[in-house]
Amino acid sequence: MGKRERLGRPLLDCVSVRFEDARPVRPFRWPPGGRYFPGWYWAATTRQHVGFESWLERDRLVLMDFDPAVVGVASQPFWLHWHDGTRERRHAPDFFLRRADGSAMVVDVRADDCIAPRDAEAFEVTRRACAEAGWGFERVGTPETVLLANVRWLSRYRHPRCRQHPVAARLMEISSQPGPLMAGADSVGDRLATLPVLFHLLWQQELSAEGMAVELLGPRTVVRLAGGGAGWRRRGGGFRRLPGSWSSPRRLLTRPVGGRGTSWRYCMVCRRMLPKGRCRGRSSTPGCTRWPNASGPRRPS
């Protein structure tokens, strides 16, 4: 496959371009001993992989995917060229977002204490260029810790296969009256079957949980029907355990068996809750005949 064609055009001629569908203008690299951790995140909003160059970018990408106002996202969609009075400069913004109202937003991700003068100049030039094009611009840093932990937990259940329609309908009915998260899951059926569906509805924002930004999700978290409902929009899949205290969401998947705690996991291949290590169809089990890449399965992000 040949090199991709690159076209240089004036900024105002690019206003109507759908940059949310663009491929990254530069490759993501994994150098040995590198300081950053690049990778790919499967966005439920677009059903496509979106690249990131650091864990901070990944965290922001998860929050963008959770935002119901975002309908399109792409990483490093274009190069912005300018002359700083001494030499030619260029900058590739981290993300381009398309919102449901048709507006566009360019996002650069950098922690507040990691902005060098050269980077600050690039962000300011990008801000002015976006204003000229009629786009929004935002430089974001480290997100709120508790909110991020909760959203990352829910993102493990973003895939449509977590939605079992009879269970989802019953959970929506029960949640019309606010109540504790675990009590609502138990009232519908076996929590090992109902919790993944409940978390998926929270990700979809068809259900809402109180205090998402101030405390970790737990058995006593109050869950209610979201006002107006967020609709069926989000897609994607993945599961990963989150570290945390006794109130961490991972405790919701621990079930006492024979007087001892047995850790359970939701298998994205078998679509069942099974004891950890006992599922031959788990995506993290090498040689699984039900996984497309049996020789070396990839863990979902």
Asked whether the whole model's pTM tops 0.75, one would answer no
What is the predicted pLDDT for the residue at 13? 83
92-102 pLDDT, tens digit each = 999 999 999 99
- Name the class of domain 16-140: alpha beta
The mean pLDDT value for 40-61 works out to 93
Does the pLDDT of residue 51 top 50, yes or no?
Answer: yes
Of the pLDDT bands very low, low, confident and very high (cuts 50, 70, 90), residue 300 is very low
Dig out the tokens for 67 from the structure: 């935002």
66-89 pLDDT, tens digit each = 999 999 999 999 999 998 788 888
Of the pLDDT bands very low, low, confident and very high (cuts 50, 70, 90), residue 36 is confident
What is the predicted pLDDT for the residue at 291? 38
What is the predicted pLDDT for the residue at 290? 42
Does the pLDDT of residue 178 top 90, yes or no?
Answer: yes
What is the predicted pLDDT for the residue at 259? 36
Q: Measuring CA to CA, which residue among 273, 277, 182, 167 is closest to residue 223? A: 182
The mean pLDDT value for 104-123 works out to 93
Does the pLDDT of residue 35 top 80, yes or no?
Answer: no
CA pair distance 137, 295, nearest whole angstrom: 43
Does the pLDDT of residue 188 top 90, yes or no?
Answer: yes
Range(s) of the chain covered by CATH 3.40.1350.10: 16-140
Per-residue 3-state assignment (H helix, E strand, C coil) for the chain: CCCCCCCCCCHHHHCCCCHHHCCCCCCCCCCCCCCCCCEEEEECCCCEEEEECCHHHHHHHHHHHHCCCEEEEEECCCCEEEECCCCEEEECCCEEEEECCCCEEEEEECCHHHCCHHHHHHHHHHHHHHHHHCCEEEEECCCCHHHHHHHHHHHCCCCHHHCCHHHHHHHHHHCCCCEEHHHHHHHHCCHHHHHHHHHHHHHHCCEEECCCCCCCCCCCCEEEECCCCCCCCCCCCCCCCCCCCCCCHHHHHEEEECCEEEEEEEECCCCEEEECCCCCCCCCCCCCCCCCCCCCCCCCC
What is the predicted pLDDT for the residue at 274? 53
